[in-house]
Amino acid sequence: MTTLTNLEQVRRVVTAIPGPKSVAAIQRRAEAVSGGLGLTFPVVIERASDAIMLDLDGNQIIDMGSGIGVVNVGNSSSKVVERVIEQVQAFTHTCFTVAPYLNYIEVCEALNRLAPGTHKKKSMLANSGAEAVENAVKIARHYTKRQAIVVFEHAYHGRTNLTMALNAKNMPYKDGFGPFAPEIYRVPMPYEYRWLGPKETITEDAIEMITHKIEKEIGANNVAAILIEPIQGEGGFIVPPLGFLPALSKYCTDNGIVFMADEVQSGFARTGNMFAIESEGVIPDILITAKALGGGLPIAGVTGRAEIMDSSHVSGLGGTFGGNPVSCAAALGALETIESEDLIGRARHIGDVLGNGLLALAAKYPVIGEVRGRGAMLAIELIKPGTIEPNSDAMSKVLKYCMANGVFILSAGTYNNVIRFLPPLVITDDLLMDTLTVLDEAFATL
Ligand SMILES: *Cc1c(COP(=O)(O)O)cnc(C)c1O
């Protein structure tokens, strides 16, 4: 289907970016919109398709962020658009727990099929990643009759009260917003690039530190769940060392702890598997999804072992909008696209093309301390050459240069020094190469 939003997949800079219309709109924004909201790019979007965004001034910008890992299937992907239009014309809302409808059930069936493991699974739907995390915590506590939740350094799980407590980073997520929820315990994350101990034994040492902390400070028998992002997102695309996730999962099984994978950012083909946790064959007890699930519409999922998902009393879970039919239609369109267009294969290909390009840049510019990630979830960490001291200033300069030249790239990282790449998985090789050229120019200006 040809949609209104089909744009030629080329970068085109026709004004300064931001252009005059964006500047004017951003002034209106400042008057009307809460100052508590961040603003990564002061550029106002009119339309978008696949990996190109068109701004108010007519600039065509390469989307290397996918709205923070949401439009994996591309902006305004045709199957998402078609199904949403059909659903809006049929009905828009009943509240699933009041009067159910088929596409909610179909999304749950799809999640149960796609989530790792052949055991019997069940799902529930929510509106956002944070809400899904909150539900996962409720479910794990109810099932285990335990309270403690173990989370990691550099973790990010959302902006609601409970998820603020789960986050590792104070600014901007927590500062001044307390008090926070109790019974949250933080353990070390094996962040290899910044690990102080010997790197050869990082997996064993990290597991030892974590299990020691759990046993001495909390008591394994009090732990309801261990919650981890299989590749950390906001923390800076931190990939745990080989063997770490399997060991953690085994510890959970041995101690009756629910192992929860937050795949809100890493899920749905992004890393070259349907879910990042699959790369080492780990099967989570609960899988948390959101972002890319709806192909651009808000929807989130909690998928887990049937006995865990069924443990809560009737009406203990729910919400007015969770699994809204329009969002469910979008999710079915997105999932169909991921599978029929082999976006898993595309993510691996992007990993090769972009990954090799980034490695070449790292060889040329010593400010790039590390290239890491998997598939189409890649990052570079910037440092002061000759040290591992974070270089936030270089990051800002590079991203500003890219924006001014029509390439949107996001930052990340506990130390605000990571550039992360989350392109739509339908991005063309030409746009990837063009992005690498602009990045090369950006680094050359430092
Ligand atoms: C974005 C994100 C969340 C929160 O999702 P929202 O939809 O913004 O509430 C939770 N976990 C991870 C890993 C995320 O990247």
Distance 159 CA to ligand 1 centre (A): 8
Q: What is the 3-state secondary structure (H, E, C) of the chain?
A: CCCCCCCCCCCECCCCCCCHHHHHHHHHHHHHCCCCCCCCCCCCEEEEEECEEEECCCCEEEECCHHHHCCCCCECCHHHHHHHHHHHHHCCCCCCCCCCCHHHHHHHHHHHHHCCCCCCEEEEEECCHHHHHHHHHHHHHHHHCCCEEEEECCCCCCCCHHHHHHCCCCCCCCCCCCCCCCCEEEECCCCHHHCCCCHHHHHHHHHHHHHHHHHHHHCHHHEEEEEECCCECCCCCECCCCCHHHHHHHHHHHCCCEEEEECCCCCCCCCCCCCHHHHHCCCCCEEEECHHHHECECCEEEEEEHHHHCCCCCCCCCCCCCCCHHHHHHHHHHHHHHHHCCHHHHHHHHHHHHHHHHHHHHHHCCCEEEEEEECCEEEEEEECCCCCCECHHHHHHHHHHHHHCCEECEEECCCCCEEEECCCCCCCHHHHHHHHHHHHHHHHHC
Is the beta carbon of 235 within 6 A of some atom in ligand 1? no
Distance 30 CA to ligand 1 centre (A): 25
Q: What backbone phi and psi angles, to 5 degrees, belong to 426?
A: -95, 5
Instruction: Indicate the number of domains in the chain.
Output: 2
The reply to whether 91 and 149 lie within a common domain is: yes
Is the beta carbon of 128 within 6 A of some atom in ligand 1? yes
Instruction: Judge whether 24 lies within some domain.
Output: yes
Q: What is the CATH number of the domain that holds 268?
A: 3.40.640.10
Ramachandran region, residue 92 (left: φ > 0; alpha: ψ -120 to 50; beta: rest):
alpha
Is the beta carbon of 265 within 6 A of some atom in ligand 1? yes
The reply to whether 199 and 292 lie within a common domain is: yes
The reply to whether 327 and 427 lie within a common domain is: no
Is the beta carbon of 383 within 6 A of some atom in ligand 1? no
Q: What is residue 429's predicted lDDT score, i.e. its pLDDT?
A: 98
Mutate to test the pocket of ligand 1, among 133, 160, 265 (most ligand atoms within 8 A of CB): 265
Is the beta carbon of 375 within 6 A of some atom in ligand 1? no
Residue 387: Cβ within 10 Å count: 9
Spatial separation of the C-alpha atoms in residues 442 and 446, rounded to whole Å: 7
Distance 290 CA to ligand 1 centre (A): 7
Instruction: Judge whether 211 lies within some domain.
Output: yes
Is the beta carbon of 230 within 6 A of some atom in ligand 1? no
Distance 318 CA to ligand 1 centre (A): 19
Distance 186 CA to ligand 1 centre (A): 18
Is the beta carbon of 129 within 6 A of some atom in ligand 1? yes
The reply to whether 38 and 101 lie within a common domain is: no
The reply to whether 326 and 385 lie within a common domain is: no
The reply to whether 110 and 43 lie within a common domain is: no
The reply to whether 55 and 92 lie within a common domain is: no
Is the beta carbon of 78 within 6 A of some atom in ligand 1? no
Q: Which two tokens stand for residue 236?
A: 């800076």
Last residue of a domain, one of 340, 356, 384: 340
The reply to whether 57 and 84 lie within a common domain is: no
Q: Which atom, in ligand 1's list, is nearest to the CA of 160?
A: 9
151 and 168 Cβ atoms separated by less than 8 Å: yes
Distance 336 CA to ligand 1 centre (A): 23
Q: What is the CATH number of the domain that holds 409?
A: 3.90.1150.10
How does pLDDT run along the chain (446 residues), one tens digit per residue?
A: 445 668 999 999 999 999 999 999 999 999 999 999 999 999 999 999 999 999 999 999 999 999 999 999 999 999 999 999 999 999 999 999 999 999 999 999 999 999 999 999 999 999 999 999 999 999 999 999 999 999 999 999 999 999 999 999 999 999 999 999 999 999 999 999 999 999 999 999 999 999 999 999 999 999 999 999 999 999 999 999 999 999 999 999 999 999 999 999 999 999 999 999 999 999 999 999 999 999 999 999 999 999 999 999 999 999 999 999 999 999 999 999 999 999 999 999 999 999 999 999 999 999 999 999 999 999 999 999 999 999 999 999 999 999 999 999 999 999 999 999 999 999 999 999 999 999 999 999 99
The reply to whether 53 and 164 lie within a common domain is: no
Q: Which atom, in ligand 1's list, is nearest to the CA of 263?
A: 13
Instruction: Judge whether 163 lies within some domain.
Output: yes
Is the beta carbon of 263 within 6 A of some atom in ligand 1? no
| Shortest-distance Cα residue to atom 10 of ligand 1 | 157
The reply to whether 265 and 248 lie within a common domain is: yes
Q: Which two tokens stand for residue 145?
A: 């009759």
Instruction: Judge whether 12 lies within some domain.
Output: no
Is the beta carbon of 262 within 6 A of some atom in ligand 1? yes
Last residue of a domain, one of 340, 358, 374: 340
Q: Which atom, in ligand 1's list, is nearest to the CA of 159?
A: 9
Is the beta carbon of 130 within 6 A of some atom in ligand 1? yes
Spatial separation of the C-alpha atoms in residues 42 and 368, rounded to whole Å: 26
Instruction: Judge whether 115 lies within some domain.
Output: yes
Spatial separation of the C-alpha atoms in residues 123 and 121, rounded to whole Å: 7
Instruction: Write down the pTM of the prediction.
Output: 0.98
Distance 212 CA to ligand 1 centre (A): 29
The reply to whether 248 and 355 lie within a common domain is: no
Is the beta carbon of 288 within 6 A of some atom in ligand 1? no
Host domain of residue 418: 20-63+343-444
Q: What is residue 2's predicted lDDT score, i.e. its pLDDT?
A: 46
The reply to whether 334 and 395 lie within a common domain is: no
Instruction: Judge whether 225 lies within some domain.
Output: yes
Q: Beta strands 184-187 and 148-152: pairing type?
A: parallel
Spatial separation of the C-alpha atoms in residues 137 and 147, rounded to whole Å: 9
Q: What is residue 90's predicted lDDT score, i.e. its pLDDT?
A: 98
Q: What is residue 160's predicted lDDT score, i.e. its pLDDT?
A: 98
Q: Which residues pair with 261 in a beta bridge?
A: 228, 287
Q: Which atom, in ligand 1's list, is nearest to the CA of 155?
A: 13
Q: Which atom, in ligand 1's list, is nearest to the CA of 129?
A: 5
| Shortest-distance Cα residue to atom 5 of ligand 1 | 129
Instruction: Judge whether 11 lies within some domain.
Output: no
Last residue of a domain, one of 278, 310, 340: 340
Residue 91: Cβ within 10 Å count: 11
Instruction: Judge whether 42 lies within some domain.
Output: yes
